[in-house]
Amino acid sequence: MKKNIEKNRFQLYPFILLLIPIIFFIAIRVRPLLFQNLSYTYDQGRDFLKVAEMISNKKPVFIGPTTGINGLFHGAWWYYILTIPYLLFGGLPIGFYWFNFILQLSCLVLFLFFTKTYFGILNALIFGFLIAVSPYFTFTSLFVGNNIMVLPAMLGFLITIFFISENKKIKQPFILSLLSGISLGLISEFELSFGLFLIPSFILGIVLFPHLRKFYFHIKNAFYFIGGLFIIFLPRLLFEMKNGFLQTKTLISFLFKPTIDDTSSYINMVKERFGMFKYFYESLFANNFFTILFTLLAICSIIFYLLNKKRSFLSFLSFAVYIIFMLFLFSTFYKGFFWANYFEGIQYLFIFILLIVFSTKVHLPLVTNIDKYIRFAILSTLLVFTLIHISTTIKKTPKKEGLAVISEVVNYINSRERNLDNYCVRIYTPPTIPYTYNYLFLANKDQTGGNLPQSEWVNGTCWFIMETDPFKFRLQEWQKTNRPKKKAIIEVKQISDVTIERYTIE
């Protein structure tokens, strides 16, 4: 009996240890969420309004937000995902951020248990801490946007391909085919640019890699893979059928006759893309010290990996390296500015490559298990740095910005306005269309009642919201057009960089 208790305790220790990076992940990110110091811009306001409209009208949409190319759109799945936090949190804007945070936290939990199972507890802890303190993964867990949803889809895609590549025993392999199709489709729908590069790379990879060819050339597996893609692309297909295949024509036209006029040489394009991929890699690490440390250890690990007769997970490693190479190669043929979010989530590819080479066992004549000592040293360094980082963050006074500022502005007006059924608000924001404020007024209306403000004066009174603009002449022109010539200012309020004024025309 005593032996069984000791055995159960021993089995629980790894899972207790895995809680540490999870706790640190939460500790680093929870403060901005509690204070609502989160990025809240034109795109978020626009998307939140679209979801509210979709739910209010009880009419699903078949296409998502615009992309950088006129006539092409991201998928509607982004809006479908947003309906979950909208309904759960009653439309409160902070609910969208909490939902994304929980989703990214779930990705960490999945990653930790996957890594612990196939790469050991030490590697799971090292890369768990790496994700917990990574600036990139911190940002993506506190930002809301269609491109951020690529991360869970990418993680699911890579784990699925890992099982296929390494011939892990699955009773129903067609499920992996279905999941790989769904996850690949979601990557494309959440960030169309990524899909345009990744899908052809993957299909070519199926032909080139024997383990993938053997799996996907099986009729049943191929059927479910295509079925997964079809499920995800169905809303887009319905949109295309309804609109005369508008996007298809636009895409074909763009591929053969790009509207981007870029005279850069191919060599310059290669250099530019190399710099971007270097940024993707470096964004994993909290500072230059960890970038250099992990890079040097990765180089050493690769050497030992190549010298090792038994190379673990070689099939999947070859696939991951191939995908990065193909994404880089295809990107060099795209003439024009290449936004980093076009390859959102590519950082997971780098993590999986590092994970595999770091798991290499090193045997030296005089020292045994040196690889374990190195991992302990890395883990200890990461642990100390994380504790210092959390301590420093707690001591800092949070700066009010983003959602916190706009929420305070809207709450101030709603608390001061006596007639919420009929009142006037005029808004100036540098992006012109004040989606951010419009959504918050809508959310407040749903919570407290009343009506949305109108832009026409009510009983000679109107509120003015004016954000600062680096191009001051634009704000001045707007003020000339919107402010009354004869005015009486009832009150003025400054909230961060936003000015609130209330006027009454006599």
Buried b (16+ CB within 10 A) or exposed e, 89-116: bebbbbbbbbbbbebbeebbeebbebbb
Q: What is the DSSP letter of 149?
A: G
Residues 13 and 78 occupy one common structural domain: yes
DSSP string, 154-165: HHHHHHHHHHHH
pLDDT tens readout for residues 105-134:
999 999 999 999 999 999 999 999 999 999
Identify the band that residue 258 occupies on the pLDDT scale cut at 50, 70 and 90.
low
Contacting residues for 430 by C-beta, under 8 A, at least 6 apart: 467, 469, 470, 471, 474
Identify the band that residue 478 occupies on the pLDDT scale cut at 50, 70 and 90.
very high
Q: Average pLDDT over the chain, rounded to whole?
A: 90
Question: Average of pLDDT values for 70-95?
Answer: 94
Question: Average of pLDDT values for 372-391?
Answer: 81
3-class DSSP assignment, residue 492:
strand
pLDDT tens readout for residues 426-440:
999 998 899 999 999
Better-predicted residue by pLDDT, 35 or 484:
35
Better-predicted residue by pLDDT, 173 or 86:
86
Domain boundary among 348, 363, 395: 395
What is the number of H-type helices and E-type strands within the chain? 20, 4
The per-residue pLDDT for 365 is: 55
Residues 376 and 446 occupy one common structural domain: no
DSSP string, 394-459: HHSPPPP-THHHHHHHHHHHHHH-S-TTS-BEEEE-TTSS-HHHHHHHHHHHHHH-S---BSS-BT
Residues 387 and 347 occupy one common structural domain: yes
Question: Average of pLDDT values for 303-315?
Answer: 84
Identify the band that residue 173 occupies on the pLDDT scale cut at 50, 70 and 90.
confident
pLDDT at 6 over 60: no
pLDDT at 49 over 60: yes
Query: Could you give the residue ranges of the DSSP H alpha helices within 283-369?
Result: 288-307, 314-331, 347-358
Identify the band that residue 367 occupies on the pLDDT scale cut at 50, 70 and 90.
low
Question: Average of pLDDT values for 49-70?
Answer: 92
The per-residue pLDDT for 364 is: 56
Residues 373 and 415 occupy one common structural domain: no
Give the rounded distance of the alpha carbon of 415 from its chain centre. 35
Residues 127 and 233 occupy one common structural domain: yes
pLDDT at 371 over 90: no
Question: Average of pLDDT values for 416-427?
Answer: 94
Question: Average of pLDDT values for 387-393?
Answer: 80
Total number of domains constituting the chain: 2
What CA–CA distances, in Å, run from 38 to 93, 103, 375, 403, 448? 11, 17, 35, 6, 24
How far is the C-alpha of 315 from the C-alpha of 167, rounded, in Å? 10
The per-residue pLDDT for 260 is: 60
Residues 380 and 434 occupy one common structural domain: no
Task: Using alpha carbons, select from 202, 39, 20 the residue that is nearest to residue 112.
Answer: 20
Give the rounded distance of the alpha carbon of 152 from its chain centre. 8
The per-residue pLDDT for 475 is: 93
In degrees, rounded to 5, the angle at the alpha carbon of residue 162 between the alpha carbons of residues 160 and 168 is: 95
Backbone angles phi and psi of 425, in degrees to 5: -140, 130
Full residue range of the structural domain in which residue 341 is found: 2-395
Residues 327 and 200 occupy one common structural domain: yes
Pairs from 158-161 (Cβ < 8 Å, separation ≥ 24):
158/320, 158/348, 158/349, 158/352, 159/110, 159/114, 161/212, 161/316, 161/319
Domain boundary among 336, 361, 395: 395
pLDDT at 465 over 70: yes
pLDDT at 203 over 60: yes
Amino acid (one-letter) located at 352: F
pLDDT at 171 over 90: no
Cα torsion 425, 428, 432, 434: sign? negative
Residues 132 and 165 occupy one common structural domain: yes
Amino acid (one-letter) located at 160: T
Task: Using alpha carbons, select from 282, 18, 4 the residue that is nearest to residue 128.
Answer: 18
The per-residue pLDDT for 283 is: 95
Residues 11 and 52 occupy one common structural domain: yes
pLDDT above 90: percentage of residues in the chain: 68
Residues 319 and 428 occupy one common structural domain: no
Residues 202 and 132 occupy one common structural domain: yes
The per-residue pLDDT for 225 is: 97
The per-residue pLDDT for 394 is: 76
How far is the C-alpha of 332 from the C-alpha of 334, rounded, in Å? 5
How far is the C-alpha of 411 from the C-alpha of 414, rounded, in Å? 5
Domain boundary among 376, 395, 414: 395
Residues 265 and 413 occupy one common structural domain: no
